Homo-oligomer: A and B are copies of this chain.
């Protein structure tokens, strides 16, 4: 079965439509997707940026929100702009990493739906805990495991791995032959490439 690595960041706007749509598009093509949370912050810092490029250039940032709104309309996804951007997705990423490969997609979708579908603030622990509770996870126990040094290190290593792969934004997709595809706009191309291998 063809495989695709799907790298995303919980604060990344264009990761939202990718998170919501990738399973269906992958299923159509018989591609197996590995969901890989990362932190864009340290990657942006490597490029000398102390925030999202959409904050660094407010004209581009304003366009991005309208573009995302139109994309959501096109794909039938709920959209509400959150009051903060970019949001700190550290706890969400740690939880996603401690969950199994089978559990990660549903948790990830629920967080993104809250963030960009309802305009919620995910940087607050209580918001992430509420999402987990809805999904039926033992909240305090899972958060405690997510905050253990081994898991924190695992997320740092995932982000270092992403940087070593020359990832510079999210979402980013990698096929098994090492082709990199950046952006929700390339998701279908990446899946098609995976199938043709």
Using a CB–CB distance below 8 Å, which chain A residues touch chain B? 47, 57, 59-60, 62-63, 66-67, 70, 74, 166, 168-169, 180-183, 185-186, 189
Contacts and interface: CB of A to CB of B under 8 A. Distances in A.
A182 B74 contact: no
A74 B193 CA distance: 11
Contact of A59 (B60, B62, B166): B166
A7 to B, nearest CB: 13
A59 B62 CA distance: 25
Given A47-B57, A57-B168, A168-B57, A63 B182 contact: yes
Given A57-B47, A185-B185, A180 B63 contact: yes
A168 B63 contact: yes
A182 B57 contact: no
Contacts of A70: 189
Contact of A166 (B62, B182, B183, B185): B62
Contacts of A169: 60
A47 B54 CA distance: 12
Contact of A74 (B63, B168, B183, B189): B189
A181 B185 CA distance: 13
The 3 closest A-B pairs by CB, nearest first: A185-B185, A60-B168, A59-B168
20 contacts: A47-B57, A47-B59, A57-B168, A59-B166, A59-B168, A60-B168, A60-B169, A62-B166, A63-B166, A63-B168, A63-B180, A63-B182, A66-B180, A67-B181, A67-B182, A67-B186, A70-B189, A74-B189, A183-B185, A185-B185
